[in-house]
Amino acid sequence: MVSRSNSVTSEAPSSLSTERIIIVAHMLPLLAQRKADDTGWTFSWDEDSLVLQLKDGLPEDMELLWPLFHYMLPLAPDHGGRFDRSLWQAPFPSSEIYRTLPVRDEILRALLNADLLNTRLKRHDTEWRIGELRAEYAGKTLLKQHPQRRGKNEASTIARRINREFGWEGYQPVGCVAAEPANGASAETARQSMLVVSEFIGCSPSLSGAIRVNPWNIETMADALNTAITMPTAEKHMRHEKHFKYVSTHDVAYWAQSFMGDLERTCRDHQRRRSYGIGFGLSFKVVALDPNFRKLLTEHIVSAYGRSQKRAILLDYDGTMITQTSHNKTPNQDVITLLNTLCNDPKNSVFIVSGRGRKTLSDWFSPCERLGIAAEHGYYYRRGAYVFGRGMFLGLGDVWEDSHGSAGFRWRKDEEWTTCVSVQDFEWKEVAAPVMNLYTESTDGSIIEEKESAIVWHYRDADPDFGSWQAKELLDHLESVLANEPVAVKSGQHIVEVKPQGVSKGVIVEKLLSMMAERGSPPDFVLCVGDDRSDEDMFESIATTMSLPPQSSMAEVFACTVGQKPSKAKYYLDDTSNVLNMLQGNLKKLFFVAFGGML
Ligand SMILES: O=P(O)(O)OC[C@H]1O[C@H](O[C@H]2O[C@H](CO)[C@@H](O)[C@H](O)[C@H]2O)[C@H](O)[C@@H](O)[C@@H]1O
């Protein structure tokens, strides 16, 4: 709280009597410093700032509260990053002001640590603004602009009634009101009352029959009042009915209940979850993870791997087999050798499941004879020749029998590509491309990649903040212009992609697993590793597919994300080198076991 100095601390203003508080300038930026003992914050401003000028004009018995708690409250969930029921309900500064705040990063980070955010105008802010508007309007403009309304005193009659009922000495909530002649305030009149609301108040979008105005534009405000007064009665009835229906079903109890319900739902799993602080400095964040979410260690997987006879190994490429930041994305010799070693085990069916194009992937993985590839998020996949038993050719995939008589299923690189869904119409590309071009023009460092089934906007080399800002805009823009097209607009690692509906890594993985089962080789071991949002579709689909027949009920499933983050996968590995080590570690351990510990 502030009294006569130009600094303020973050202690709660509990002793203040609300009648003596004046709220001002809640959009003014401050200098903020964390206290040396880390118990809170100190905020201050320049001697000649507007806050002090305002304070100087106050009567002696008034105190000035700069509503610091608007900014301090959000810092609360940041303390220790604990997940109590933290909720934040306070006005948020406009983006122009927010950008100038010295503590903007801390505020944002703390907000992200809250369980629920609800930003609405509080009552005292509204009152403060009403006060300003009253002074500005003083009831003059409607009558000046619409002289035909002069001499009619219905507005002031209603205003007097409301002021009598809701005002107090020195405070009159209504200076001028929009309404038809009161006619004895009958029920009939009430059913045709009109609303003129500020576009800035929270309920404005909910009241669809109201006339919305920018209250700072006196002329449009006057026009709106006039429109409200002169509107045909039938239309007023219709608008009133809408409002009546809405407010009688969405009353205070409804909002309170729905708000508390949201909070309950968000916090339901808190007792079970474990919170981790991840990262340093400004990239520090707290994530709440399922207690069963754990690091995938070789010992978790190696015995299941050893026991199994038909393994499906599904690997994403970018961010999983190669780091997202490396300039040269071509797989190195270690990756090729590892994949070949995996593929050469007749018990393994190994797939790369990637968003990349089929040409790139088949060039890169040409040394891997037996590797299955799903390209463009599974739109294309490469089928192998199907050989039943030893050497009998059937034409789809490759089933073999080893010396112990167990059957397997493998892919061959020289086979035809096929598509997982049939897409006839790519005309939407002509709508999407010009929109992407606009964003490429205005975002230095961004480029467009045209794939066979999809178009991708890349912004990895753009300014990081501006790039992700533009990506959000582009996503919205594309979703609206392509709303009636059979496409999905998705964001990924520094990309925004438009692809045909029904194409996802989840769909192709389901297809691959089902094909193995249909051909008599349901996998009894599934390992799936990926880092990106598109890989979450694989994790979800594996969980569903493997829980249903004809899949083996004994199958062991290891879905693993790269990076410790909320995921549908049960396991995580920290980075790509962890992934490669895990795969190599498995192979080494098995080799070691197979050769009686002679490695
Ligand atoms: O499914 P993935 O194997 O993870 O592939 C997804 C996308 O990979 C490519 O983009 C990625 O690499 C780019 C650099 O080569 C990088 O700028 C981008 O941020 C990465 O996401 C590919 O170009 C996309 O088409 C794939 O969807």
> Does this model's pTM top 0.90?
no
Whether residue 176 lies inside any domain: the answer is: no
CA distances from 14 to 1, 10, 127 (A): 10, 11, 21
Q: Are residues 434 and 368 in the same domain?
A: no
Ligand 1 binding pocket includes 379 (Cβ within 6 Å): no
Helix (H, G, I), strand (E, B) or coil at 118: strand
Q: Are residues 336 and 268 in the same domain?
A: no
Residue to probe by mutation, ligand 1, list 314, 315, 318, 491, most atoms within 8 Å of CB: 318
Q: Are residues 301 and 358 in the same domain?
A: yes
Q: Are residues 441 and 590 in the same domain?
A: no
* pLDDT per residue rounded down to tens, the chain (599 residues): 333 344 444 444 333 333 333 333 344 445 556 667 766 555 555 555 545 555 555 445 444 444 333 444 444 444 443 333 344 444 566 677 677 766 677 667 766 666 666 655 444 444 545 555 555 555 555 556 666 666 555 556 667 776 777 777 777 766 544 434 444 445 555 677 788 888 877 677 788 889 998 887 888 888 888 898 889 999 999 998 988 888 888 877 787 777 777 777 877 777 777 777 777 665 666 777 888 888 998 878 888 888 888 899 999 999 999 998 888 999 999 999 999 998 888 888 899 999 999 999 999 999 988 889 999 999 999 864 333 344 333 334 455 554 444 445 555 556 788 898 888 889 999 999 999 999 999 999 999 999 999 999 999 999 999 999 999 999 999 999 999 999 999 999 899 999 999 999 999 999 999 888 888 888 999 999 999 999 999 999 999 988 887 766 788 999 999 998 889 999 999 999 999 988 887 666 665 555 544 43
Q: Tell the residue nearest (CA) to atom 6 of ligand 1.
A: 355
Ligand 1 binding pocket includes 376 (Cβ within 6 Å): no
Q: Are 467 and 445 in contact (CB under 8 A)?
A: yes
Whether residue 229 lies inside any domain: the answer is: no
Helix (H, G, I), strand (E, B) or coil at 464: helix
The Cα–Cα gap between 329 and 373 comes to 17
Ramachandran sector of residue 473 (left: φ over 0; alpha: ψ -120 to 50; beta: rest): alpha
Q: Under 8 Å CB-to-CB from 143, ≥6 apart: which residues? A: 149, 150
The domain spanning residue 495 has which CATH number?
3.90.1070.10
Whether residue 204 lies inside any domain: the answer is: no
How far, in Å, is the centroid of ligand 1 from the Cα of 456?
A: 9
Q: Are 526 and 555 in contact (CB under 8 A)?
A: yes
Q: Are residues 376 and 305 in the same domain?
A: yes
Of 484, 500, 516, the residue at which a domain comes to its end is 500
Whether residue 282 lies inside any domain: the answer is: yes
Of 500, 515, 545, the residue at which a domain comes to its end is 500
The Cα–Cα gap between 488 and 506 comes to 14
Q: Are 504 and 526 in contact (CB under 8 A)?
A: no
Which pair of tokens denotes residue 475?
């996503």
CA distances from 512 to 157, 216, 373, 412, 570 (A): 76, 61, 11, 14, 21
Number of structural domains, the chain? Answer: 3
Q: Are residues 474 and 529 in the same domain?
A: no
CA distances from 437 to 263, 429, 434, 466 (A): 42, 12, 5, 16
The Cα–Cα gap between 411 and 312 comes to 12
Q: Are residues 378 and 513 in the same domain?
A: yes
The Cα–Cα gap between 22 and 35 comes to 26
Q: Tell the residue nearest (CA) to atom 7 of ligand 1.
A: 355
Q: Which domain holds residue 479?
A: 427-500
* Radius of gyration of the chain measured on its C-alpha atoms: 32
Whether residue 184 lies inside any domain: the answer is: no
- ipTM exceeding the 0.85 mark: yes
Residue to probe by mutation, ligand 1, list 377, 456, 458, most atoms within 8 Å of CB: 458
Of 500, 529, 547, the residue at which a domain comes to its end is 500
The Cα–Cα gap between 482 and 462 comes to 25
Cross-strand partners of 529:
315, 560
Q: Are residues 486 and 568 in the same domain?
A: no
Whether residue 169 lies inside any domain: the answer is: no
Helix (H, G, I), strand (E, B) or coil at 87: strand
The Cα–Cα gap between 285 and 300 comes to 28
Cross-strand partners of 202:
none
The domain spanning residue 351 has which CATH number?
3.40.50.1000
Ligand 1 binding pocket includes 492 (Cβ within 6 Å): yes
Q: Are residues 513 and 557 in the same domain?
A: yes
Residue with tokens 């801390």: 106
Q: Are residues 496 and 508 in the same domain?
A: no
Ligand 1 binding pocket includes 460 (Cβ within 6 Å): yes
How far, in Å, is the centroid of ligand 1 from the Cα of 324?
A: 8
Q: Tell the residue nearest (CA) to atom 9 of ligand 1.
A: 356
Whether residue 357 lies inside any domain: the answer is: yes
Q: Are residues 529 and 465 in the same domain?
A: no
Q: Are 502 and 537 in contact (CB under 8 A)?
A: no
Contacts 24+ apart (CB under 8 A), 397-403: 397/515, 397/519, 398/370, 399/519, 399/520, 399/521, 400/346, 402/346, 402/347
